[in-house]
Every structure is written in structure tokens, then in C-alpha cells.
Structure 1
Amino acid sequence: MEIAYWIVAGLLALMYLYSGGIKLVQSQEKLAPMMAWAGTAVPMSGVRAIGLLEVLGAVGLILPPLVDVVPVLALVAAIGLLVLQLLAGLFHLSRHETKDIWLNVTLVVAAAVTVWLATAVWS
């Protein structure tokens, strides 16, 4: 189970480090082609906050169990990313952005599996 956790959590963390990182450092103009909502439907301060939550969630999936300090924080991070992605999916559905909803669904499933694995391994 622990190996499965590291595989799923590692892939999820990489995705969120990338996604959150670009939300933290890119300008609105550079984000617009990828995320039409960035800076328009959501102010840039909100985009930056989402990016920070994604990066912190990714770090929370990896760092606590890696250093074996309060590894249950990985479960908390996985739950946080699951909730974040559920809200993102609802946001995109409310804007009728159904073309790319598969990514939200995939990330919800991956986060849910990570929650389940973290529960099995560290709680």
C-alpha cells in the first residue's frame, strides 16, 4: 500500500507543483491562453492563492511522510486537494466549460485514491 501511495501521491504532487507554480509566477497575460478565468472571473490575487494552496498541498503529500514527521498531514493535504479540485470542477461546470472537465474528474479520482491510500498507510 505504501508503494502505491508514493506512486499516486508523487504524480499528483508533480501535477500540483506545476499547476500551482505557474499560477504563482506567471502574469495574467501568460495565464490567459491556458486559463481564461484567471484574472477575469477570478482576480489575480485569487489565482495566486489557488496556486499557493496547490503548491502547499503538493508539499504536504510528500514531505511529512518522507521525513516521518506527523505523516497524517499527508492525509490532510490529500483531503485539501480533493476539496479544491471538487470546487474547481463545480466552478468550471458553472461556466459551462465542459470540454476540459475530464481533467477535473481525473484529479478528483487521483486525490480520492490518495486519501484512501494515506488513510490505509498513516492513520
Structure 2
Amino acid sequence: MEITYLVVTCAAVLANAGIAAADFAKAPFVLASSQAVGVPAAWIPSLGLLKAAGAAGLLLGLLGLRPLGIAAGIGLVLLYVGALAFHVRAQVLRTVAAPGLFLALAAAALSLAVLR
């Protein structure tokens, strides 16, 4: 299980760091998706910060700070549940796979951290 935890958590860290970087850079796909689901552009840097903090927390959890890793996993799960809610509320289902994938990664990393 240790190798699974390592691989899944590293994938979640990389994915969240990447999407946080896209948020900070205000990538066109981020702006388009956010606008489509009704997220104000002013929220994007804050959401990027939450994603980056989640990635950092998961990484620190890998390095031995287990409670921080679990807290980061919980935060990311809540963040992506909110993202899915925004997509469903706005009835923008064509892009719901992206937050769904991030939610699955965060939930898997969280589950493996708790079971560890």
C-alpha cells in the first residue's frame, strides 16, 4: 500500500501544482471555464492559492507530517466538491470531468493517507 500511497499522492501533488500554476497565470482555459460556471475572475488567484497549499500539504504529508497531509486532502476534497457543485448548478457538464478527476485524486490521496 505504501507504493500506491506514494504514486497517488505524487499524482495529486503534481496535478494540483499544475492547475494552481494555470490559475496564477490566468490561463485562457481557466478563465473560460470559470466564466462558464459563474466563478468571478477575482476568485481565481485565491483558488490557485488553495490548490497550491493543498499540493504543498499533501507533499508535506508524504514527508512525514501526516496530520497536515490529511488536512490538505480534506481541504482539496472540499474544494473540488464545490467546483463540481458550481458546474452542476450552472449546468456546464461538458467540463465537469476536470474537477471530477481532481476530486478523485484528492479523495484517493486522502483515503490512502488515513489508512496508512
* TM-score category (smaller protein): 0.7 to 0.9
What is the rounded CA distance, in whole Å, between the counterparts of 2:69 and 2:30 in structure 1?
A: 29
Q: Taking every aligned residue pair, what percent have the same amino acid on both sides?
A: 27
Aligned residue in 1 for 2:72: 77
List runs of 5+ in structure 1 lacking aligned partners.
Answer: none
Matched, 1:101 2:96: yes
Match of 2:13 in 1: 13
The structure number with the bigger radius of gyration is 1
Cα deviation, residue 63, structure 1: 2.1
Pairwise CA distance, 1:44: 3.0
Q: Counterparts of 1:84 and 1:97 in 2: how far apart (Å)? A: 17
Question: What residue is the counterpart of 2:3 in the other structure?
Answer: 3
Q: What's the Cα RMSD here?
A: 1.9
Gaps of 5+ in 2: none
Structure 1 residue ranges (4+ consecutive) displaced by more than 6 angstroms after TM superposition: none
- Per-residue deviation at 1:6? 1.1
1:38 to partner: Cα distance: 3.7
Q: Secondary structure at the match of 2:113?
A: helix
Q: CA deviation at 1:43?
A: 3.0
Equivalent pairs counted in the alignment come to 115
2:53: which partner in 1? 56
Aligned counterparts of 2:58 and 2:89: Cα–Cα separation in 1: 29
Q: Using CA pairs under 8 Å that are at least 6 residues apart, name the structure with larger relative contact order, 1 or 2.
A: 2
Distance in 2 (CA, whole Å) between partners of 1:90 and 1:105 is 11
CA 1:23/1:12 → structure 2, altered by over 3 Å: closer, same or farther? same
Q: Which AA in structure 2 matches 1:4?
A: T
Within the alignment, does 1:120 sit opposite 2:115 as a pair? yes
Query: Per-residue CA shift, 1:87-109, capped at 9, x if unaligned?
Result: 00010111111012122222222
- 2:32 aligned partner: 36
Verify the 8 A CA contact 2:69 2:113 in the aligned structure 1: yes
